[in-house]
Amino acid sequence: MMDQAVYEYMEKIAEVSDVRKKAEWMMRGCIQFFPFQRASLFTYSPLSHTGEGIFLIENDKMVSLEAVKDDVRPIFPLFQALTRNKPVFINREDILNSFPDKYVRHFELSTLAIVPISLVNIVVGFVLVDSYIGEYPFTKNYLSLLSYYFKRMTVPFFPSFPEKNTLSKRETEVLQHLANGYLMKEMASMMSVSEYTVRDYISSVVRKLGVNHRAEAVAVGMRKGIIL
C-alpha cells in the first residue's frame, strides 16, 4: 500500500500546469518515495522502436539525456517491456547480458526497473529507475507500486475532454500518430485497418475538435493534453 504522503504529493503535482515542470517533479517524487537513487525519462516511438532521452534525476541534480537515442529492439528486456506494456525489474547479470556496454559503464548500471508510459494503450515513453537501495529480494509489490505511481502521475498530462468533444480511443490513437509524423499508410499498418478507415478517423477528429485541418488538430490535441 502506498503511503499517504505519496498521494498528497501526487495531488500537489496535479496542480502544476507546466508540462516540463510536472515531469521533473514526477521524477523527483520517484526517487523520494521509492528506494532508488536515479530515475530517467524517455520518449518512445512504436513505429521506429526508438527511445530518446529527455532527462534524469539523481539526488538533487537534473541532467539532460537529449544525446541518448537508440533502437531499443536489440535491448531485449527493454523491448519486451515496451511491447507488452508491462513494467519489469532486472538484475545486474541481465543488464550486463543485454544492455549496450557504453550505457552500463557510463551510468554504472546495477539493478534496473523499466516502467512503460502509455496513452490509450500506446506506449509513448518509459522510465528507467536504477540504483536500487531497498531490501532484497525485490518484490513484485514494489514494481506494482512503482507502476501505479507513474500511471497516476501521468493522468494529469492527459486531462479528460468535455463529454461532447470526447474522442474515441482509435481517434486519439490516430491523432497521436499524426503528431508523431506518421503517414496514413503507416498508421493503417500499425492499427491493422485500411487507409480509408484511417482517413475517416482523421475526419472525425477534425470535426470533433472543431478545427480546419490536421496540423491544427494536432496543436489543439497537445494544448488540451489529449496527446503528447
Determine the Cα–Cα distance for residues 40 and 30; give it in Å rounded to an integer: 10
| Confidence bin at 118 (pLDDT 50/70/90) | confident
Where are the chain's structural domains?
4-157, 163-223
- CATH code, 163-223: 1.10.10.10
For residue 7, pLDDT beyond 60: yes
For residue 54, pLDDT beyond 90: yes
DSSP 118-135: EETTEEEEEEEEEEE-S-
For residue 209, pLDDT beyond 60: yes
- CATH code, 4-157: 3.30.450.40
Q: Give the mean pLDDT of 200-227.
A: 86
| Confidence bin at 86 (pLDDT 50/70/90) | very high
Q: pLDDT averaged over the chain?
A: 87
For residue 148, pLDDT beyond 90: no
DSSP the chain: ---HHHHHHHHHHHT---HHHHHHHHHHHHHHHSSEEEEEEEEEETTTTEEEEEEEEETTEEEE-TT-EEESTTSHHHHHHHHHT--EEE-HHHHHHHS-HHHHHHHT---EEEEEEEETTEEEEEEEEEEE-S-SSPPHHHHHHHHHHHHHHHGGGSPPPPGGGPPPHHHHHHHHHHHTT--HHHHHHHHTS-HHHHHHHHHHHHHHHT-SSHHHHHHHHHHTTS--
Residue 4: is it exposed, middle or buried by C-beta count within 10 angstroms (0-12/13-18/19+)?
exposed
For residue 11, pLDDT beyond 50: yes
Percent of the chain having pLDDT more than 70? Answer: 93
pLDDT of residue 166: 73
**Which of 191-195, 215-219, 220-224 has maximum average pLDDT?**
191-195
